Chains A and B, each alone.
Chain A
Amino acid sequence: MTKNAVLIDSRDNVVTMTQDVPSGARVCWSGGEIDALEPVMSGHKVAIAAIAPGEIVRKYGHRIGNAAGAIEPGAWVHTHNLARSQS
Chain B
Amino acid sequence: MSRFLGYLRSDGRVGVRNHVVVMSSVSCANAVVLGIGRQVPQVKTVTHTEGCGRGPTDIAISLRTLAGVASHPNVAAILIIGLGCEFIKARLVADYAANDKRIEQFEIQEVGGTPKAIARGVEIARRMLADASKIEREEFGFEHLTLAMECGGSDAMSGLTANPSVGVVADWLVGQGGTVMLSEVTEFLGTEEILATRCASGEVREQMLGLLSRHEVKVKEQLGPLADLVIAPGNQEGGLSSIQEKSLGCIQKGGTTDIQAVLEYAERPTKKGLHVMDTPGSDIFSVTGMFAAGAQMMLFTTGRGSPAGSPLGPVVKVASNTSMFQRMRDDMDFDAGRVMAGMSIAECGAELVGLVGKVADGKPTAAELNNSDLFAIHTVGEAF
A residues neighboring B (CB under 8 Å): 2-3, 6, 8, 16-19, 30, 41-45, 59-60, 62-65, 77-79, 82, 84-85, 87
Q: Which of B156, B236, B241, B244 lies in contact with A62, CB distance below 8 A? A: B244
Chain A residue, CB-CB nearest to B243:
A84
B249 engages A60 (CB within 8 Å):
yes
CB-defined contacts of A17 to chain B, threshold 8 Å: 239
> How many interface residues does chain B have, given as a range?
20 to 34
A62-B240 Cα distance, complex, nearest whole Å: 14
A62 engages B239 (CB within 8 Å):
no
Q: Name the prevailing secondary structure of the A interface residues.
A: loop
- Give min CB distance, B208 to chain A, whole Å: 15
Chain A residue, CB-CB nearest to B251:
A60
CB-defined contacts of B242 to chain A, threshold 8 Å: 64-65, 79, 82, 84-85
B340 engages A82 (CB within 8 Å):
no
B residues neighboring A (CB under 8 Å): 156-157, 159-161, 164, 190-194, 229, 236, 238-242, 244-245, 248-249, 252, 339-342, 344-345
CB-defined contacts of B342 to chain A, threshold 8 Å: 2-3, 30
A8-B164, A87-B190, A87-B192 given as contacts; is B157 within 8 A of A64 (CB)? no
CB-defined contacts of B252 to chain A, threshold 8 Å: 60
CB-defined contacts of B341 to chain A, threshold 8 Å: 2-3, 18
A74-B194 Cα distance, complex, nearest whole Å: 28
B241 engages A65 (CB within 8 Å):
yes
A6 engages B160 (CB within 8 Å):
yes
Q: Which of A30, A45, A79 lies in contact with B344, CB distance below 8 A? A: A30
A6-B340, A8-B345, A16-B160 given as contacts; is B245 within 8 A of A44 (CB)? no
B194 engages A44 (CB within 8 Å):
no
